Amino acid sequence: MELEIFLDLPTAEIACLVREAGPKVCVFPINGTRRWFMLEHPQVAGQGNISQYLDITGKRHIELYQLFFEHGVDTLLTPVFGLDLLERGEEYVTAIGIEGLSRLASHPDFLEFYKTYDVQVRFYGDYRKFLQNTPNAHLLDLFDTVTRETHANKSCQLLFGVFAHDAAETIAELSINYYLEHKTYPDKHTLVELYYGGYVPSVNFFIGFDKFSAYDMPLIATGNEDLYFTVAPSPYLNVKQLRTILYDHLYARPEQETDYSAITAELWESIREFYRVNRNMVQGVGQKHPLAKFWYPLPQVKLSDCFRE
């Protein structure tokens, strides 16, 4: 199927194609939210109203989750809070970070979305260790409540990563406790269930933003997941972008054995020229904006005629 045809298919038909290829697990950390908010809602941003910021960005998060689920992705992991956010200061953490986490588990808009789309919600990471015995410990009850109340939902899984930056000690503790109880060590399937609160298949694709890095998917990252990185902040992700990613994942990335004997001398020379032109190019290299100081990627690939359709 050609990309142009795929992009124009009805959403339900694309969802069927995605599901026919097997259950799909996507990791999508929604980053660059503040930048998107400042650019798209400058009047509101200028007022400094935290509640409006959370209302608008929360609505956008829900729209993005819907986009994935409507296109046949049945499991979405989205890291939402980590140690790096603590570096933004106590005011940011309390006003935006903690309140934002609370909304994921208790705001009517999110709860209605979970109900309408039959979404099972879970939280993963070391959040208990970081939140218990703190003024923010009330989040633990909220997380447990929404997990329990959505447990019967089966159509989609939405997992929020909270302090999921390093799972080594948690996995070690889970393994020891399991051994003490069962007198045998847990297999990978069991460890995944223990860590994520339910089984999650291996990740199929990761969609990041900004610098090329994939993270917060312990135990289910195999090295076979397809990695994608948007140039614009994550909240800008749209239907065409997601469909382009899904097409690439379904049809372009799967490798077929190359019959080198069928490649003509002329084609070999074209391939040689492509590599010669791009010999000094490196995907992932970028620069910092001279004034705004944010990093952005540089274009790196020059296509010769034989690589253009």
Has residue 68 been placed in a domain? yes
Indicate if 242 and 268 belong to the same structural domain. Answer: no
Percent of the chain with pLDDT over 90: 81
Same domain, 155 and 268: no
pLDDT band, residue 72 (cuts 50/70/90): very high
Mean pLDDT for the stretch of residues 144-169: 96
DSSP letter string, 68-90: HHHTT--EEEEEEE-HHHHTT-H
Q: What is the mean pLDDT of residues 230-243?
A: 98
Residue 270 and residue 162 share a domain: no
Q: How far apart are CA 175 and CA 82, in angstroms?
A: 24
Q: Residue 309 has what pLDDT?
A: 58
Among candidates 158, 193, 5, which has minimal Cα distance to 79? 158
Based on the fold, state whether residues 161 and 298 are members of the same structural domain. no
Residue 188 has pLDDT above 70, yes or no: yes
pLDDT of amino acid 124: 97
**193 in a structural domain:** no
- Containing structural domain, residue 299: 263-307
Q: What is the mean pLDDT of the chain?
A: 93
Report yes or no on 175 lying in a domain: no
CATH of residue 19's domain is 3.40.1180.10
Residue-level pLDDT at 230:
97
In this prediction, residues 175-201 reach a mean pLDDT of 97
Q: Is 138 found in the same domain as 62?
A: yes
Q: How far apart, in whole angstroms, are the C-alpha atoms of residue 27 and residue 227?
A: 10
pLDDT score at 305: 73
Mean pLDDT of 271-285: 93
* pLDDT tens per residue, range 25-65: 999 999 999 999 999 999 888 887 899 999 999 999 999 99
Residues in the chain: 309
Tell me, yes or no, whether 245 and 278 share the same domain.
no
Tally of domains within the chain: 2
To 10 degrees, what angle do helices 11-20 and 239-247 make? 30
Q: In 3-state terms, what secondary structure has residue 296?
A: strand
pLDDT at position 181, please? 97
The verdict on 81 and 213 lying in the same domain is: yes
Distance CA 58, CA 52 (A): 10
- Per-residue pLDDT at 126: 94
Q: Which pLDDT value is given to residue 96?
A: 81
**49 and 10 co-located in one domain:** yes
| End-to-end CA separation in angstroms for the chain | 14
Specify whether 219 is located in the same domain as 113.
yes
Average pLDDT over residues 216-244: 97
- Give pLDDT tens digits for 255-276: 888 889 899 999 899 899 999 9
Does residue 94 sit in the same domain as residue 211? yes
DSSP reduced 3-state for 66: helix
Is residue 90 pLDDT above 80, yes or no?
no
Residue 21: the pLDDT is: 95
Read off φ and ψ for residue 210, nearest 5 degrees: 75, -140
Q: What average pLDDT does this structure show over 275-291? A: 93
Q: Residue ranges of the alpha helices (H) in 124-264?
A: 127-131, 138-149, 168-182, 188-196, 239-247
Copy the structure tokens of residue 227. 């990695």
Q: Answer whether residue 173 is part of any domain.
A: no
| pTM: predicted TM-score of the whole model, two decimal places | 0.93
Q: Is residue 59 part of a domain?
A: yes
Question: How far is 162 from 93, CA to CA, in rounded Å?
Answer: 13
**Percent residues over pLDDT 70 in the chain:** 98
pLDDT at 48: 78
In order of 26, 166, 264, 297, the CA distances from 238 in angstroms are: 16, 31, 40, 20
One domain for residues 156 and 294: no
